[in-house]
Structure 1
């Protein structure tokens, strides 16, 4: 069977156009659509029969899918495919469908099939098209799956935004228990810092409550009505963290939905981003975070365009960033741009005045949750105050919860304490200063102060952290270092 015989019996209209735009073939269905049934089409150009179709093989948009055209009183759906000879465009194949016929087919079948078509031209020795091979595949199922995936991604994005809103709505306002002078000073500093948009770096040991302090700064700021987005830099897999932080554009991933995905930083627009465990951020991402802080812009994965974001950054770490900088694991530039306002939260063992108030706070909290009326006796309270709490407030809260659940009576006694706390009393003198010989009291005090300053400086290299460890003011540290000639 000749090619023309086969094309004449195709229900869709087919036109073949050469590189100049001249029509080289038009089948019966196309002649009917274009009112050329009893007319000669020899010598016609494509622009003569499809005046609204802009023919230009050099235009990258020449290939069309489902373009709707009004032609000869009919509404036609046009698809076009460029035909190449080697690497040069040799012409165009155009298919036409009458939309009314398609509507009738849909009504008859009750569903629509999605087809993927590939056209391959076969040329003779003179360079003329002699055959066009059309390969069609039913991709209805793939199309449906892609739509379901797109819907699922949109739903996930909606859930992420709703969860962030719910977290903000459920965050308590006054959650920091502070009776020690050290903590009161820190909270006063936080209140002052909240009035500006400067970056804040919170340094502390694990479990001290850096997240609560960051929340307090947010709540006291002009951004209080905006979102408070917590990003744990150590909890997100390295291969996902960039897209989680910055999102991705529609073109970044195959099958991604049209709007792309918002990142956590963009979701915080108008509010505060809390970067917890900032030391765990991979080095390449540290550069991008630095630019976000400087320029207030992000670039989603797969995009070449920046998006402006109105955010305030609060970062936190429980590691020595100076040491990480020396080890080339943390960028010095990021440290300095984060460290505009440093806040060092002292561990519980350096503010034992707070322990009693924290214990009473947690007892009230768990009494309410468990519908009990328990209390802690004096012996247990003294033991808990003397304990060093390496896990800080988190460890204290977990222990109080455990005691409230496991104790039999309404009064918690020493027998209810875990074994390691009962043993702690026996080693309570481990940090005492040992006196090996007699000397004038003044000389002994000066020697001890000098040694303490030298050890603190060797460990922290920061007068604020030295003051926090020694339990004195930063100005006192500076004055005594000058007095004893301790080099900074």
Structure 2
């Protein structure tokens, strides 16, 4: 740098930076007032005149050179004070060359840098607070507002211009701000949260936090305000739903007082009310009745209901499972046999089941399983009321009402030729069809409550139903109908370790506990908001992650999952699996 010595010196003098000028022998020619003051502090026993003609190194000691790209800088220390020396080569007005040296106090530079850094940081913090979605307000210990961001103006519905520099006590309003959180924080010296309602009726949550100084005294209070209107409304809605759940559970968890025997029938659904209404209507008519329905819907219970509401209720009710008796033994079981009628016969013969039910009711369950050769004998009995024991000569009149049931379509069997048409019409004088459990879901809770009460008493338990498990059971298809429902309730009473029965206690959910993939499948299927493609992708990702744990390479993963390695690589990239 070549320039006029006077201009450089005058420029440095104006800026009040310590500057000294040196001749070609590095002796001090002159120094400005800032430099004189600096050296007077370091050498208090000398004056400015004493420094003239002195070599710089005698005052500064050894100079250490610092290499930079554009400038030549030296550093030195005198009496524990460090400086930078920046030389400028100049030409005086007389044409002589000299050096102008700018001195910089290192400590001052650090302080300046630190001050600039903190000022910059403070600016960033203010920008961060201003960018917060939550409202933020800061007060001093007296409640005077020091800072307010724009979000606070939006959330609290108070203009910044109305509160900046004011005390919070002046802003108290009996309608929308009956109390100041800042005052409560100052009083209790702890974090305080309060729900408030603003001018428009929205709900906000205001939280004040005290900031303490080194002496443990509050120096400022930071207040955070958040709009919770939606959360508040959802909470109220949740409370209403839970209230409805409690009313729902209390209404149906105690079954109607119809007894607690094994053959109790509950008519909750409209379909079952119609079934029992028809059963009660025909109970006292001495006619055959055909009861239809899937396996487990309660056909035998309806037959018992008819018997118990008939004039025969004091007489026997005998159930015959036609599907459980071999075809060649049906005649001897139903009609009985005489002594010596066949090999293995009892010595005194045996009374048949129909004869044993004389005066009462015989219920022929699974009548569709009856072989054709016996169907004609059954038809004759229904028409004549006469039976003849196997091996006997004489017939006997038996007063028995016949109820029959099947889970098969006898009309289709007639078309196929596997069931006699005349017997079908003789049995089907009155037909009662019981709807499956999946079509009367409103009966599930009362049935479950009844079975739970029964098995709690039987096994000495106190298991309790929850809303979630009832809803899970109402979504189930129940292929085994009421029989399956009863068995599952008994299973949970015995097996579950929970006092309050939850969905995971259901037998079909228990298998997912040990298999994470099947558990995820179950959860995905229950998520009504999840599309099919999303559910498939989620399952695919889980399978890949599980395979990665046991296979070290994509080649081994591909072999395990039986796909190409390129497919594995592509899908792992898709799901961001490393």
Normalising by structure 2, what TM-score? 0.43
Does residue 296 in structure 1 map to residue 357 in structure 2?
no
**1:434 match:** none
After superposition, where does 1:171-250 map in structure 2 within 5 Å? 172=261, 175-250=264-339
Aligned mates of 2:301, 2:490 — CA distance in 1: 19
8 Å contact from structure 1 (residues 173, 216) kept in 2: no
In structure 2, relative to structure 1, the CA distance for the partners of 1:185 and 1:285 (3 Å cut) is: same
In structure 2, relative to structure 1, the CA distance for the partners of 1:285 and 1:255 (3 Å cut) is: closer
After superposition, where does 1:361-372 map in structure 2 within 5 Å? 361-372=450-461
Alpha-carbon shift at residue 335 of structure 1 (Å): 0.5
Alpha-carbon shift at residue 409 of structure 1 (Å): 2.1
8 Å contact from structure 2 (residues 503, 509) kept in 1: no
User: What secondary structure does 1:373 align onto?
Assistant: coil
In structure 2, relative to structure 1, the CA distance for the partners of 1:339 and 1:428 (3 Å cut) is: farther
In structure 2, relative to structure 1, the CA distance for the partners of 1:406 and 1:224 (3 Å cut) is: same
**2:401 match:** 312
**1:386 match:** 475
In structure 2, relative to structure 1, the CA distance for the partners of 1:417 and 1:257 (3 Å cut) is: closer
8 Å contact from structure 2 (residues 293, 434) kept in 1: yes
What CA RMSD, in Å, does the superposition of the two structures yield over aligned residues?
2.4
In structure 2, relative to structure 1, the CA distance for the partners of 1:429 and 1:352 (3 Å cut) is: farther
> Structure 1 stretches of 5 or more lacking a match?
1-170, 431-488
> Structure 2 stretches of 5 or more lacking a match?
1-259, 511-518, 529-578
Does residue 262 in structure 1 map to residue 340 in structure 2?
no
**1:354 match:** 443
Aligned mates of 1:429, 1:218 — CA distance in 2: 47
Aligned mates of 1:313, 1:287 — CA distance in 2: 15
Aligned mates of 1:187, 1:424 — CA distance in 2: 37
Alpha-carbon shift at residue 260 of structure 1 (Å): 2.5
In structure 2, relative to structure 1, the CA distance for the partners of 1:378 and 1:274 (3 Å cut) is: same
Aligned mates of 1:346, 1:428 — CA distance in 2: 26
8 Å contact from structure 1 (residues 173, 219) kept in 2: no
Does residue 417 in structure 1 map to residue 506 in structure 2?
yes
8 Å contact from structure 1 (residues 251, 303) kept in 2: no
Aligned mates of 1:320, 1:428 — CA distance in 2: 35
Aligned mates of 2:523, 2:311 — CA distance in 1: 47
Larger RCO (CA within 8 A; separation ≥ 6): 1
Aligned mates of 2:345, 2:508 — CA distance in 1: 55
Q: Which one has a bigger Cα radius of gyration?
A: 2
User: What secondary structure does 1:374 align onto?
Assistant: coil
Post-superposition CA distance 1:416-454 (Å, at most 9, x none): 223459867765799xxxxxxxxxxxxxxxxxxxxxxxx
Name which of 466, 477, 487 aligns with 1:377.
466
Task: Kindly report structure 1 stretches of 4+ aligned residues shifted beyond 2 Å.
Answer: 171-174, 253-260, 417-430
In structure 2, relative to structure 1, the CA distance for the partners of 1:427 and 1:284 (3 Å cut) is: farther
Aligned mates of 1:348, 1:333 — CA distance in 2: 32
Name which of 424, 427, 451 aligns with 1:335.
424
8 Å contact from structure 1 (residues 252, 302) kept in 2: yes
Alpha-carbon shift at residue 356 of structure 1 (Å): 0.9
In structure 2, relative to structure 1, the CA distance for the partners of 1:244 and 1:353 (3 Å cut) is: same
Alpha-carbon shift at residue 346 of structure 1 (Å): 0.1
Alpha-carbon shift at residue 225 of structure 1 (Å): 0.8
**1:396 match:** 485
Alpha-carbon shift at residue 266 of structure 1 (Å): 0.6
Normalising by structure 1, what TM-score? 0.51
Alpha-carbon shift at residue 401 of structure 1 (Å): 0.8
Aligned mates of 1:428, 1:219 — CA distance in 2: 43
8 Å contact from structure 2 (residues 263, 301) kept in 1: no
User: What secondary structure does 1:201 align onto?
Assistant: strand
